[in-house]
Every structure is written in structure tokens, then in C-alpha cells.
Structure 1
Amino acid sequence: MIGSRTWRLGECPEQANIVKILGNYLIACAIQSLGEAVSLAEGAGVDSRQFVELLTSTLFPGAVYAGYGSMIAERRYQPAGFTMVLGRKDLHLALDAATDHDTPLPIGQLLHAVFDQAIADGHGAHDWAVVANNNRGDHRRPMTVTAVSTSPDDALAVHRYCDRGRRGAVSRHSGRKAAMTEHFGQHAIRPRT
């Protein structure tokens, strides 16, 4: 149960499971976008705490943006409310469900690479908001991200948070697949296939 009300979403228990997984998927997306926005704000000389307070008082009120926004602004990732390892597990479940239902999750592919990098960097026991550090100064990690769509008409929107002067490379493949690859730095990690 997410709140104080019971929601009937279907007859099968699996439907409740997917709703919980998708809730966590959306939280992961919010954390990543908050991390990107806070990183850019800091880079432009804006106080991150005031920036998050402005956002959560106006455009984005609510527990996810307020709670994770303040953690990101303060770089406070311990004690963990939800660890990177648990976040990656739920992300894998969302990506597996997407595959089962033939539904592309291009942002999920990006998050998979970001989460794997954070865990490889030793942050598996930290709160999953620690992914915000991937966008900050010396913590920026080089990576290659590939997102695949099953429809040639799909537009893939992958946020570019690379160093100044670097650009992503976009390529179209024959058939029904379109791919976008972002190059960040000299090394690459590959997302789940």
C-alpha cells in the first residue's frame, strides 16, 4: 500500500506488483532529473538548497521531490532509506516487465547504466539519491548509454549531461530499431541488453 487508501487495479496480484515497481521506477527518474538540475544549478553558481526549496515550494511539491531534493542538495546519503542495490533491483524488475510487455523504457536504460556505475564506485549501501553525484564535478563518470525503441517513429529523449564541448552521436539502424548513443568521456560502460 502506497498511501492510506486501497486501490483496486485489477483482479491479479501481479498487477499490484507492477504498480509498486513502476512507482519506484518513477522515483528513480525523479531522483536522476533532480540530480541533473541541481548539478547544473550548482555549476551556474545557484545555491542548491535554495534551488530545491524553490522547486518544492512551487512547481514540485511532494514527498519525493522534497525528501530526495534536500538529500541531493546536502549530499546526505547515509543512513540510506532505500539503497542503490535495492533501487537497481527494482529498476531491473521494471525493465524486465517492459520487455515482457514489449514497452520500451529508454530512460530506464539510462538509469541502469547510472545505477551500475554508482554501485561500481562503492555506493551500493548509500541511499539511491547518491546517483546525483554522477553529474557533479569530479564525480562525473564517463559512460556510453544506448536506448533502443521498437518503433522507427519514436523520438528518444535522453538527457545530455556531458562535459562542455562533447556531443552525443545519434544513429539510425535499418528495420524497426532506432538507437541513440551518448558518449561521455574516454571510457564506456554498456547498459543491460
Structure 2
Amino acid sequence: FPLPRADQVADAAAAHLLWQAARLILREGATPFRSLGRVSIRPRTYQFVPLLMALRLDPVRLFIADDVGVGKTIEALLIARELLDRGEIRRFCVLCPPYLCEQWARELAEKFNLEPVVIRSGTVGQLERQTPPGQNLYEYFPVQVASIDFVKTERNRPQFLQFCPELIIADEVHGAAAASSGRAQQERHALL
């Protein structure tokens, strides 16, 4: 919507509408959470529970295992956004299966106003060219969405662990549970 002009606020109804709009904008920015003014969603009340729990933990270690469709992604990203806005972390990474990387990147960009990079075998060459000399891509990019299958390999795991961001969000962790068989699952488990 275009910004209102002084000549448009000529009657009481228009002035009341402008006042209500200003009040609603301030309400989102004047909460105990710094991140709510920068997200483009309105979280449901129950989605604040993991955020409140995380803010009481030092270090933050939380396992979010809600039902399907409840909003685990929103809950996890609310925590990440709040910790970023409070200055408690500078970088974070979402570790997920390769087929979910684009979905996570879209959620971060559209709903949380963050610019993530996707780290997987097809993008790592381009990202390394963007990284300044003497730095590692895991330490250079503040918001990362990384394929757990790319990071878990013997070639990539040491660099990731050495330059690991302050916050890791691991998605689909049931695929990384300790297992007696399945090399891929064991490598995921060892990484986490």
C-alpha cells in the first residue's frame, strides 16, 4: 500500500484507520522478542514454547518432535532468528537431507528475511569462489543450509566441524539415529 499523505487524513474514520495501522506495526516490534518485527509470519501461540525453552538454556540444546504439520520448521527458525537478533550467535546452519535444501532456503528467505546459501555438491564450487582467500565457506557465510549427506563425508566433515557455526538445526534426525546397519545412517549419526 502507498504511504498515507497528510491531506488524506481529513476525517475521523481515516485518522482512526491510520492510528490502528501504526498501533499494529508497533505491537509487532515492541515484544520481548526482537525477531518478531523481522519475520513475515504470525506465529501461533504454541510455537513460542520452544523459543521460550531455548532462551532459558545455555547452551541451547533442544529436540523438537511435534506432530506432522504443527510447524517444527517455524519453531526452529524462530529460535535461530531470535538468537541472531539478540547477538548471541553470528552464524547458523540447517543440516538436512539434500532434497529439503531448497525448501529450507525458501522458508528462510520468504518468512524470516534471511539470505541463506545452499551447501551441497552442486553448489560448493560456486560458494568457494565467493569466499575470500584465507577463509572457509563454513565460517564466511552466516546463514547456511547444508546437505547432511555432503557434510558427513570424510572429505568435508573435518572442515565443517572445525568452522562449525554456533547453532545447528538438524532436520529429519530419525535418518541419523544409531543403527546396526546402513553406512549412510551411521555416517550421519557420527556427524551429529
TM-score, normalising length from structure 1? Answer: 0.25
Greater gyration radius: 2
